[in-house]
Amino acid sequence: MAAFKAATTTIPIVGLTSDPVDYGLVASLAHPGGNFTGFSVNAGDEIFGKYLELLRQVAPEVSRVAYLLRRAAWEGRQGRMMLEAAQRARLTLIGAPLSDPIQEPEYRRAFAMLVREGVQALVVSDNAENLAHHQLIVALAAHGRLPAIYPFRDFATAGGLMVYGFDVADLWLSVARYVDRILKGAKPADLPVEEPTKFELVINLKTAKALGLTIPQSLLLRADQVLE
């Protein structure tokens, strides 16, 4: 998005990005002030604690949880927020930072490290590389018999245990609505950058059974989709 923003100050740009204020794309979420607007995929700091809460519900005995994400994110705010959430939950958090190039060998290295560290469960971040390698990640988690929570529905359909995150399809529909408004005369500067409001919980019962886990009925009732 930064490249598009640098290329023009007049052509309207509508997009999805993690933190448009930090990236200098907009002056503020409420008042973008330029030719860029759209939607932030930042789900808020509360989501880190939510990941751990959901893992605890399906695997209450776990005490050592890993976090799989880019190294820069682990060393930055995202890593700090997850560490704080783990401390509040009285869990030991093991970082599994991924270094470039983030390809299959790097994922295999990270999972081998998790085995050595005695990790009992896994949180997978929403960075683009993880989504691109979602089938590999799910397979490695299954091989290590790790209960895991993922950010996007693709992971659950590939066999991942549980997904909690914003509804990607809903955000793209919202982007289309913004484009429609701009084509009808609205200015990007006047359209606030919105954050996700619709989240989904998906549970894969087949995977839970393979891991020997019993999903609480209360959690199944809350799920938006249960895969059997």
Q: Is 192 exposed, middle or buried (0-12, 13-18, 19+ CB in 10 A)?
A: middle
pLDDT given for residue 1 in this prediction: 65
Q: Is 2.60.40.10 the CATH number for 46-165+200-227? A: no
Distances (CA, A) of 211 to 126, 143, 146, 178, 218: 23, 10, 8, 43, 19
β partners of residue 150 = 163
β-pair type (162-166, 199-204)? antiparallel
CATH of the domain spanning 2-40+167-197: 3.40.50.2300
pLDDT reading at 2 higher than 70: no
Instruction: Establish whether the linkage from the previous residue to 101 is cis, with ω within 30° of 0.
Output: yes
Tokens of 70: 């880019």
User: Could you tell me the residue ranges of all domains in the chain?
Assistant: 2-40+167-197, 46-165+200-227
- Gap between the Cα atoms of 198 and 85, Å rounded: 22
| pLDDT per residue as tens digits for the range 21-54 | 877 888 888 999 999 999 887 777 899 999 999 9
- Gap between the Cα atoms of 58 and 99, Å rounded: 30
Amino acid at 55: L
- Gap between the Cα atoms of 212 and 228, Å rounded: 15
* DSSP per residue, 53-66: HHHHHH-TT--EEE
| pLDDT per residue as tens digits for the range 112-150 | 999 999 999 999 999 889 999 999 999 999 999 999 999
Cα dihedral 73, 90, 205, 104 sign: positive
pTM strictly above 0.75: yes
Range with lowest mean pLDDT among 14-18, 65-69, 164-168, 220-224: 14-18
- Gap between the Cα atoms of 119 and 153, Å rounded: 24
Tokens 């289309």 identify what position? 176
- Mean per-residue pLDDT of the chain: 93
Terminal CA-CA length for the chain: 39
Amino acid at 197: T
User: Do 176 and 222 meet the contact criterion of CB atoms below 8 Å apart?
Assistant: no
User: Do 38 and 14 meet the contact criterion of CB atoms below 8 Å apart?
Assistant: yes
Q: Do domains 2-40+167-197 and 46-165+200-227 have the same CATH topology?
A: yes
pLDDT reading at 5 higher than 80: no
